[in-house]
Structure 1
Amino acid sequence: MKLTAIYGFIAVFFLSFSAGAQKQDRKILAKRILADARLDSVQKKALKLLDGFSAGTSYNEIWIRDFNTFIKGSLKVRPKEEVKTKLLMFFKIQGNDGNIVDGVVESSKAQVGYDYRYADLLPGWAAHKNTVETDQESSLVQAVKKYIDVTGDKTILTEVIGGKSVLQRMEDAFVYIRKERWSEKYGLVTGATTVDWGDVQPETGWGVSINDKTKMAIDIYDNAMYVMAINDFLAMKPQGYKTIENWQGIADQVKKNVRKHLWMKDVQKYKPHLYLNGSPFSKNFDEDKILYGGGSICAILAGFNTSAEVAAINKQLVAAAKKEKHATIGMTVYPPYPVEEFPNMKAYLYQNAGDWTWFGGRMMGALVNFGMVNDAYEEFIPMVDRTLANKGFFEWYDVQTGAAKGSGDFRGEAGVMYDAIALLKNWAETESKHK
């Protein structure tokens, strides 16, 4: 036998052996997931909580950014018509320029210091918009897509509100971002400077509203959410429906510009901010060293990264978590902004390096999509154990003490965990059926 043939035989043997070993590993992992009673317990607790719609015990409002992440669970325990009605509320109080509010609340409970708006189409309700953020429009479109995915009810798209269909109103929301929150120079979505996906700006004062001190910037989170929303809109619009813009072309351009202006290839991470009217931070502060967890996870879900880059981002998230005693990959940013740079939020408080399963749990979908299921399971379990230990779902966790913080009965966390567990179980069930 010739030497080349021998080498070829050896190569085929080892490839076959490797493939067989990987298949066996997947079978073992699938069995572990399906047998893990902790997942069943958390999912059951989540569904019990998702019987309501407000964000949590500290909130009277239905927030669209939260509702978008627990709507699938809601549809398991509430009638679809009720869930549909809650979604349509956001369109009924939509701004004339297409903007979407953050939250809706019964008028009698509109007692926080927001600038409330009211609409004849939604009597008895008030609404508010945190103007520093640019994810409300994208969150609503994504929520409509999830509603259709679960129910199959596409009639929501042709529902007419104030003379416009929901389809038209979703496009109006996209147009609002293009007109009011857009950088022509960079071809990207803009917003005020906040911590990653957060809705509080550095300057002291009422941190959720743009003011004369606000520094406008571009970040990865807003752009990833926008592209995901466009992709969802294009996937659910009826065939033959004529759009007012080439949304696919816009989404493609955003992805291209994200890669050009925000992705730092040499360090395999996203630049925190690209500033448009100056930075709010001191000249000696190197913001680019901060890892943005939530925005990076959303970027992966939006399809901005390769498999190798996903692995690199995940490695950084895991490494950051290991530096704090009680952290998971849900830690918002790392390291945190020092108080001298971010007076409105001290280090390790809330969005400034607090640990949010609400976002960390979304990484499970990103990892599973790229075949990194073992990583997903191993990184998710600390979140599961923490939820069980605290006997409930909380808004965020202190990475230094492990204490549960913020709102209790936080439905955003419950929804994300429900979806992550469903995803892992679905993978495991599919894998276990393969011979």
Structure 2
Amino acid sequence: MCNKYFFLLLAACLSMTTLQAQDRQQLARKILADKQLDTVQAMAARLLAKGFNAGDGYPQVWIRDMNTFIETSCKVYNIDTIRKNLLTFYALQQPNGEIVDGYVLKGHVTWNDPNIYTSDMEPAHVGFKNTVETDQETSLIQAFAKYIRLTGDSAILQEVIGGKTVLQRMALSVQYLLENRYSNKYKLLTGATTQDWGDVQVEGGAVVDVDEHTHWSIDVYDNAMFVIALKNLGSFSKTDADKQHWAKLERLTATHIRKYLWDEQHQKFIPHIYVKDSPFPPDFNENKIHFHGGTAVAIEAGLLSKKEIAHVNQQMLENVKLSGAPSIGLTLYPPYPEGICKNSNASKPYIYQDGGDWTWFGGRMIQQLVANGFVGEAYSEVQPMINRVIKNGKFYEWYGIDGKPAGSADFKGSAGVLSKAIDMLKSWAAANK
């Protein structure tokens, strides 16, 4: 290990020791007395009480967004409506098991999408999908798990839609992934090449849809999402055989993530494994790039040890410092160089998904720091996200390297992850005051 990584690891270990030694009561009381946390949490509740569309720039209901704000929605919105929204996704499930990204009322399509999904089981709505991604099926399973945990409504799994229960439809959606988005060589899910968790492919062409330009690849985000969904399926199962089936696939996936995507030498995840060939020139070293979003989800999936979590968190902080970014919401670092990605939506450093600062994923890292005992770090690292929400009075979709807000001004995904992070901080504080 080179000196740089040795010192990063040493700093991480010292950070853990410091957290254990400090007065837990003092930290707990500081968190509970922080009125800014209360303010942001109240703002999130007001926004999420308005409904389920992703934000003011997105009139549609997206499952990858809803999965990240459903927990707060369950506290501030009508539960029956949330239930119906979740079931609508399975009513729009395609015969091959595929799940759509989202849906709108039929006749309310306001964009020119050649891929409109319909279903006889749901005549009132039409679906749509960014086919470059492989997180729709797993996001929906996770959203059901969160809904059930908060409401106790496990009966939803036995709701019958088109002759199949919801639980059977979940299994069908996993089968779709294994048949259509799976590498038998690596035993991992595949998708188009995007920047970290993004839904914009790096080649020119159809932007959010698979086309003749697509380079199929394997990344940590899609597969970590799969591991979480498989854990959820195991918890839903009623028979030992089903539990064992999902547990076996979960272990296989987790093992192969570690085997093929975790770079032990550099203590980070490899951005992509290419199924056939790379879209980038041979002299481009993509592995110098850190995927922050996928790493946060990998921690949620239980793929990193405490020591590794401490280390990647220090890497993120170092990357934030080097880039000048506002927070650990920094998507990735260093960004892909200008022009190397052919799609105009993915071609400029520190713009959008190429190194923009997204609370939507930074907030998930805060959650995982709390969940794994790094509460002091979490409280410190969430501050820039809290401060900018209060300053701007909005939950913006993403921020530029200069801290200027961009995208949807009322992005519910950002509100959801911050609200949950604050909940987790307060819960820890209440137990340690």
Q: Answer yes or no: is the 8 Å Cα contact 1:171–1:244 preserved in 2.
A: no
Structure-2 residue corresponding to 1:96: 95
Unpaired stretches in structure 1, ≥5 consecutive residues:
1-17
Distance 2:266 2:133 in 1: 27
Distance 1:213 1:98 in 2: 25
Give the TM-score, by structure 2 length.
Answer: 0.93
Distance 2:285 2:17 in 1: 45
Structure-2 residue corresponding to 1:299: 298
For each residue in 1:9-66, what CA deviation from the matched residue of structure 2 results, as whole angstroms up to 9, or x when unmatched?
Answer: xxxxxxxxx9999465211110110000000000000000002100001111100000
For each residue in 1:275-297, what CA deviation from the matched residue of structure 2 results, as whole angstroms up to 9, or x when unmatched?
Answer: 01200011111100000000000
Distance 2:45 2:307 in 1: 35
Distance 1:205 1:274 in 2: 21
Distance 2:27 2:86 in 1: 38
Structure-1 residue corresponding to 2:309: 310
1:86-165 mapped onto 2 (5 Å cutoff): 86-114=85-113, 115-165=115-165
Q: Does 1:223 align with 2:223?
A: yes
Structure-2 residue corresponding to 1:407: 408
Distance 2:368 2:185 in 1: 30
Unpaired stretches in structure 2, ≥5 consecutive residues:
1-15
Q: Answer yes or no: is the 8 Å Cα contact 2:234–2:243 preserved in 1.
A: no
Post-superposition offset of 1:371:
1.1
For each residue in 1:233-273, what CA deviation from the matched residue of structure 2 results, as whole angstroms up to 9, or x when unmatched?
Answer: 21133x33753981111110111111111100011000000
**What percentage of residue pairs aligned between the two structures are identical?**
46
Structure-1 residue corresponding to 2:362: 360
Q: Does 1:200 align with 2:179?
A: no
Structure-2 residue corresponding to 1:374: 376
Structure-1 residue corresponding to 2:38: 40
Structure-1 residue corresponding to 2:255: 256
Structure-2 residue corresponding to 1:12: none
The one-letter code sitting in structure 1 at the alignment partner of 2:33 is A
Distance 1:214 1:327 in 2: 32
Post-superposition offset of 1:197:
0.3
Distance 2:132 2:79 in 1: 32
Structure-2 residue corresponding to 1:394: 396
Post-superposition offset of 1:118:
1.4
Deviates more, 1:19-28 or 1:243-252: 19-28
Specify the SS of the correspondent of 2:323. coil
1:25-104 mapped onto 2 (5 Å cutoff): 25-51=23-49, 52-104=51-103
Number of residue-to-residue matches in the alignment: 413
For each residue in 1:126-172, what CA deviation from the matched residue of structure 2 results, as whole angstroms up to 9, or x when unmatched?
Answer: 11111110000000000000000110111110000000000000011
Structure-1 residue corresponding to 2:13: none
Q: Does 1:420 align with 2:421?
A: yes
Relative to structure 1, is the Cα distance of residues 342 and 236 closer, same or farther in structure 2, using a 3 angstrom cutoff?
same
Distance 1:86 1:20 in 2: 45
For each residue in 1:379-402, what CA deviation from the matched residue of structure 2 results, as whole angstroms up to 9, or x when unmatched?
Answer: 011100011111110110001x21
Structure-1 residue corresponding to 2:265: 266
Deviates more, 1:318-327 or 1:89-98: 318-327
Specify the SS of the correspondent of 2:142. helix
Distance 2:203 2:338 in 1: 11
Distance 1:298 1:23 in 2: 28
Distance 1:426 1:229 in 2: 25
Specify the SS of the correspondent of 1:126. strand
Distance 1:334 1:19 in 2: 27
Relative to structure 1, is the Cα distance of residues 22 and 251 closer, same or farther in structure 2, using a 3 angstrom cutoff?
closer
Distance 1:19 1:207 in 2: 46
Structure-2 residue corresponding to 1:232: 232
The one-letter code sitting in structure 1 at the alignment partner of 2:397 is E
For each residue in 1:336-380, what CA deviation from the matched residue of structure 2 results, as whole angstroms up to 9, or x when unmatched?
Answer: 111221122221111110000000001122112221110011001
TM-align CA RMSD = 1.7
Q: Does 1:338 align with 2:337?
A: yes
Specify the SS of the correspondent of 1:402. coil
